[in-house]
């Protein structure tokens, strides 16, 4: 059977563990030469372990593939340049970029620090910019593709305002970049996976899920399948990311894919509903008009309203 990525080169951030590791192994099995990037830090940031990336490189080489480890911090522009430099120095080209590196710092906003917010944005959003900025010219030369891992948390997740903002930023980056590079034959897409893995053991993550359940405000994406069916094998999102780099997915750019357990779906682009038009524009008084209020609010409800008396601090 032909291997889809024979002779191609992929750089994958955060590929020492979890989804990133599965993505790296899949690309390698399909013939790609892989740059395995991982700082080896903790899920909440901090620390470093260069052996994490090297272990995946050793796995790839053991199966007969080619790979090189790269351990830069992807929250910096230098890290992005180092990643791309590793691909060029080792393999002479760069065809695909998979952005996956990320950290979490869960906390309700009342408890969240500026550092909690800044570091999550730096790794989960600026880091994607850094790698793309460094590698885009080379991906254009190879008519390659970019896949950005986003998250269903971008749709809203209790205790994750920093992470949700970063991941929804990834979606905007993906859509905008697709419009910029389409004329060069480059495609850019995003994947929103549910793949909890080891982060489920972090008390702060358990708290976000427990509070969501207590308040009856789960992630929209979790309402379609029971939780025991979306605790996935990590190979599922890896398969989607790799598939998006093939000609089979050539009709997609600037799009998002959702993957959870047995379910894969295209995420619909945002659309407008309940249009109202006023030839003279809209004033505050116009919007308070009873007919307009009814037209906008009919059959709507505040899903996050308190079930009883509002809490006090």
Q: What range defines the domain where residue 165 resides?
A: 9-267
Q: What is the CATH number of the domain that holds 140?
A: 3.40.50.720
Six-digit token string for 278: 């006023």
For residue 261, tell me if it sits in a domain: yes
Element (H, E) at 45: none
Nearest Cα to Cα of residue 296 among 310, 307, 308, 282? 282
Six-digit token string for 173: 């980056």
Q: What pLDDT is attached to residue 45?
A: 80
Q: What pLDDT is attached to residue 232?
A: 55
In the chain, count H helices and then E strands.
11, 8
Six-digit token string for 110: 């009342």
Q: What pLDDT is attached to residue 196?
A: 57
Burial of residue 214 (CB within 10 Å: 0-12, 13-18, 19+) is: exposed
For residue 284, tell me if it sits in a domain: no
Q: What pLDDT is attached to residue 228?
A: 47
Mean pLDDT per segment of 10 residues, for the chain of length 313 residues? Answer: 90 96 98 96 80 97 98 97 98 98 94 97 98 99 98 90 97 99 98 71 78 77 49 82 98 96 90 94 96 95 90 92
Six-digit token string for 201: 């053991």
Gap between the Cα atoms of 54 and 48, Å rounded: 13
163 is catalytic: yes
Determine contact, residues 212/158, Cβ cutoff 8 Å: yes
For residue 309, tell me if it sits in a domain: no
Gap between the Cα atoms of 236 and 1, Å rounded: 21
Determine contact, residues 258/190, Cβ cutoff 8 Å: no
pTM for this entry: 0.92
For residue 107, tell me if it sits in a domain: yes
For residue 209, tell me if it sits in a domain: yes
For residue 280, tell me if it sits in a domain: no
For residue 279, tell me if it sits in a domain: no
Catalytic, out of 128, 149, 163, 258: 163
For residue 193, tell me if it sits in a domain: yes
Six-digit token string for 30: 């399909």
Gap between the Cα atoms of 186 and 143, Å rounded: 5
**Total number of domains in the chain:** 1
Query: Nearest 10 degrees: CA dihedral of 176, 181, 185, 188?
Result: -40
Six-digit token string for 182: 């389409």
């Amino acid at each position: 059977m032909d291997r889809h990525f024979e002779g191609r080169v992929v750089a994958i951030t955060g590929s020492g563990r979890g989804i990133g590791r599965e993505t790296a192994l899949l690309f390698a099995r399909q013939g790609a030469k892989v740059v395995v990037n991982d700082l080896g830090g903790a899920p909440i940031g901090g620390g470093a372990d260069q052996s994490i990336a090297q272990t995946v490189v050793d796995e790839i080489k053991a199966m007969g593939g080619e790979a090189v480890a790269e351990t830069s911090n992807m929250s910096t522009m230098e890290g992005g340049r180092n990643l791309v430099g590793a691909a060029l120095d080792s393999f002479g080209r760069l065809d695909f970029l998979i952005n996956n590196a990320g950290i979490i710092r869960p906390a309700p906003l009342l408890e969240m620090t500026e550092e909690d917010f800044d570091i999550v944005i730096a790794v989960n959003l600026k880091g994607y910019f850094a790698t793309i900025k460094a590698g885009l010219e080379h991906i254009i030369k190879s008519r390659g593709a970019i896949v950005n891992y986003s998250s269903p948390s971008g749709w809203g997740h209790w205790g994750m305002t920093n992470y949700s903002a970063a991941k929804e930023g990834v979606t905007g980056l993906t859509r905008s970049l697709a419009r910029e590079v389409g004329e060069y034959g480059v495609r850019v897409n995003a994947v929103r996976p549910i793949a909890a893995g080891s982060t489920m053991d972090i008390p702060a993550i358990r708290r976000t899920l427990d509070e969501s359940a207590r308040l009856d405000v789960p992630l929209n994406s979790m309402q379609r399948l029971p939780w025991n069916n979306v605790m996935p094998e990590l190979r599922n999102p890896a398969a989607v990311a790799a598939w998006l780099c093939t000609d089979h997915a050539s009709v997609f750019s600037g799009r998002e894919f959702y993957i959870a357990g047995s379910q894969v779906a295209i995420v619909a682009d945002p659309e407008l509903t309940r249009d109202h038009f006023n030839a003279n524009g809209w004033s505050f008084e116009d919007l308070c008009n009873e007919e307009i209020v009814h037209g906008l609010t009919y059959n709507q409800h505040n899903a996050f309203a308190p079930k009883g008396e509002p809490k006090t601090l």
